[in-house]
Structures are given as structure tokens and as C-alpha cells.
Amino acid sequence: MLAAYAVTADADAPLNALRVGQIEPPPVPAGWVEVEVRAASLNHHDLFSLRGIGLAEDRLPMILGCDAAGVTAEGREVVVYAVINEPGFTGNDETYDPRRSLLSELYPGTLAEVVRVPAENIVAKPAELTFGEAACLPTAWLTAYRALFTSAALRPGDTVLIQGAGGGFATAAMVIGRAAGLRVWVTSRDHRRAERAVWLGAHQGFEQGARLPERVDAVLDSVGAATWSHSVNSLKPGGRLVTVGTTSGAEPRSAELTKIFFKPLHVVGSTMGTRAEFARLLQFLVSTGVRPVIDRTIPLADAADGFAAMIGGELFGKVVLEPGR
Ligand SMILES: NC(=O)c1ccc[n+]([C@@H]2O[C@H](COP(=O)([O-])OP(=O)(O)OC[C@H]3O[C@@H](n4cnc5c(N)ncnc54)[C@H](OP(=O)(O)O)[C@@H]3O)[C@@H](O)[C@H]2O)c1
């Protein structure tokens, strides 16, 4: 089948590690359900995999991709929940399973004509969403939903600062946050992206690192090292810093420990979301009419172009790949 997969790791030139072509469907545990992929979407996670981060060499070649929507053999329209728990995990928060993985880490991912997942990982696709829209939700949008409402515990009327306006996570958080009655501020390295964020629904856009008009209730930070100090400095006493990613690196110049204890702040790690949160996210989109921000929709065969745009920092929203085009 046609798929986009990693054949090696290349930290500096990740496109060298990518192949888009025919590959034999790799084996998966017995009983998993086959989904014919109608649309998949890219995440920074896929780029990390090509760079060798989080994907062990003995797992190669590995079909990339965490997110997809498609059709089962019985004709059910479904969206894939991307957190794969260790068999026997019994906790009620799937993200607390220390042995969990995302599709494309241990098992073949979604950038393919067909993906196989545990039966409990398929969720009915609301008829109101297209396959392309649904395919944007399992990683970036679910992470944004949990970060806003569970990890930052934000309520209507609160102010949230979202670092790095252009990413899939950041655009999700700004659109969901606005629809949920938050005051949404964003930062970007590029004033055009900050303006576009405002056009999309953020109340105000700022240059990365800029002094804000007032301190905020929570910061969602997926950028990491480059924005950490600004995130700490932007919070009110008692505010929440939700860290979900390290696109610019995981080692900030200062950990800002003194400010964190003195203000005092809550620093909360957040990753993906539960299946129950995913169901609520789908309902939230249906109820509010909010839809994912899609930068471009391209054939799966052109996946390398989507990765190149992500590497070049050109994106505003998600890249959707369609195997059938
Ligand atoms: N914890 C989880 O479960 C989870 C889920 C989804 C994503 N993530 C993580 O969240 C991060 C965001 O992923 P994504 O796919 O949404 O977007 P992304 O492509 O990683 O980009 C995020 C944004 O960060 C800013 N940025 C990028 N490089 C930067 C640098 N060197 N210095 C300063 N700012 C920089 C850019 O915003 P501007 O150009 O507008 O400044 C960019 O649009 C990734 O690290 C990803 O692994 C984690």
C-alpha cells in the first residue's frame, strides 16, 4: 500500500529519512480493526520521528502519522483516537499509562491507505465534520482541549496566552479558547502570523517576548526553550503554565525556579487527552460550529511537500493528506 514512512533518522535533514511509496502493511496485534484512511494530518511529532527523536532505530521502517479519519470494513465513518494503551491498562486516564504509545511509535501510523488500531481506538465521526476536519483532531486538537480545560482549568472570562501562533496545537487552542469564552492572546515571531491569529479569533497578537498589557491566568507553551522565561513572566500570581511541547528545544536558558516558587505558579505537564475528552471535543465542534484550521490539503503522495512546509515554518494550521487523491 502507499504510505509515508521513516527509513532512517536524520537530525539535520529529516526529509532524507522520509520515503513515500509502496510498503507491505506491517503486522499488528490480533483483533485490531482496519480503517481505510480517507484523510490523515501531520504533526510536529512526525518530524521528530524523522529526526530520530522518540523513534528507536530497531522500529524502522515505520509508517508515520498519529491522526486519521476513515471508514471501517462495515462502512462506519470513524476517527482514530491516537493513544494506544498497554494491554491490561485499567486506569481511567489513558495519558497516565506509563507504557502508552502514539500510533507510529510502536505500531504503524496513519500516513497510509490503511491503518489498524485497537477496537476501542475508533470513535464515530460526527456527520457534521468532513474526513479532513476530523483527521486534524486526535493529536493537536485533543491536546489543546485538555490543556485549556483540564490542565489549565480555565473558565469563561479568564485570559490565556498561547505561545507560537502558527502551529497546529496553537491554532487549535486559540480557536477552541475563543469559542469557550476565554480572552485569547497569542505570540508569534512573525507579525503576519500574529495578525492572522487575530483574524481567526484571538483577541490580540504580540511579538514573541513582548511585554503584555497585564498578566494572564494561564499560558499554554508548546515552543519550549525560546519562550519559557516569557511564559513565566507573563503569569499572574497563582497562574498556570501548561507545558505541552519543546519545538525550540527542551533546555531554556533559565528554569526560572525562583519566580516559579515566589509568585507562586503552577507548572503543569499535559499530553494528548483521554478518550472521554476526545468525545467531548467532537461534541464541542458539533455544538459550536468551530472547525480545524487547515493550511493545505494535499495528496498523500506529496507528503514530502507538507513536511517541507512544516520545516520551513510556513504553516498556519494543519496539513491534511488524502490517500485517495
Ligand atoms: N504533549 C502532546 O501531547 C503534544 C501534542 C501535540 C503537539 N505537541 C508538541 O507541541 C509542539 C507544537 O507542535 P505543532 O505541530 O502544533 O507545531 P510546530 O510546527 O511545532 O510549531 C509551533 C509554533 O512554534 C513556534 N516556533 C517554532 N520554532 C520556534 C523557535 N525556534 N523559536 C520560537 N518559536 C518557534 C512557531 O510559531 P510562530 O512562527 O508563530 O512564532 C510555530 O508555529 C511540538 O513540540 C509538538 O511535539 C505535543
pLDDT tens digit sequence for 177-186 = 999 999 999 9
Give the end-to-end CA distance of the chain in Å, rounded to a whole number. Answer: 14
What's the confidence (pLDDT) of residue 186?
A: 97
Mean pLDDT, to the nearest integer, of 28-38?
A: 93
pTM score, whole prediction: 0.95
306 lines ligand 1 (CB under 6 A): no
Specify the residue with its C-alpha closest to ligand 1, atom 6.
140
Q: What is the mean pLDDT of residues 275-295?
A: 97
The pLDDT value given to residue 168: 84
- Grid coordinates in use for 152? 489549565
Residue 166's pLDDT is 80
- Alpha carbon 36 to chain centroid, angstroms: 22
Across all residues in the chain, what is the average pLDDT? Answer: 96
Grid cell in block for residue 178: 475563543
Q: Report CA(106)–ligand 1 centroid distance (Å).
A: 23
Place of cell 494530518: 41
pLDDT of residue 151: 98
Q: Which residues of 163-178 are buried (b: 16+ CB within 10 A; e: fewer)?
A: bbbbbbbbbbbbbbbb
Of 168, 51, 42, 65, which is closest to residue 113 (Cα–Cα)? 65
Work out the pLDDT band at 195, boundaries 50, 70, 90. Answer: very high
Work out the pLDDT band at 167, boundaries 50, 70, 90. Answer: confident
313 C-alpha to ligand 1 centroid (Å): 10
Residue 126: which pLDDT band, with cuts at 50, 70 and 90? very high
Residue 77 confidence class, pLDDT cut points 50, 70, 90: very high
Q: Is the peptide bond before 323 cis (omega within 30 degrees of 0)?
A: no
Mean pLDDT of 300-318: 93
Atom of ligand 1 nearest to the CA of 310: 19
Length of the chain equals 325
Q: How confident is the model at residue 234 (pLDDT cuts 50, 70, 90)?
A: very high
Four-residue CA torsion sign, 41, 43, 47, 53: negative
pLDDT at 233 over 90: yes
How far is the CA of 292 from the CAs of 35, 132, 138, 282, 296, in angstroms? Answer: 22, 9, 11, 11, 12
Q: Looking at ligand 1, which atom is closest to the CA of residue 142?
A: 5
**pLDDT higher than 90, residue 275:** yes
- Whether the pLDDT of residue 124 is over 90: the answer is yes
Q: State mean pLDDT over 305-322.
A: 93
Q: Residue 25: pLDDT band by 50, 70, 90 thresholds?
A: confident
Residue 321 alpha carbon to ligand 1 centre in Å: 19
Contact 319, 298 (CB under 8 A): yes
Radius of gyration of the chain from Cα atoms?
Answer: 19
Residue 306: count of CB within 10 angstroms of its CB: 25
* Mean pLDDT of the 204-219 span: 97
Q: Say if residues 167 and 319 touch (Cβ distance below 8 Å).
A: no
Burial label, 242 (beta-carbon count in 10 A; 0-12, 13-18, 19+): buried
Pocket test for ligand 1, best of 84, 94, 96, 223 (most atoms within 8 A of CB): 223
pLDDT of 213-229, one tens digit each? 999 999 999 999 999 99
Residue 324 pLDDT exceeds 90:
no
The three cell numbers of residue 219 are 499560558
- Return the minimum-mean-pLDDT range out of 25-29, 111-115, 154-158: 25-29
Half-sphere exposure of 85 (CA within 13 A, CB side): 18
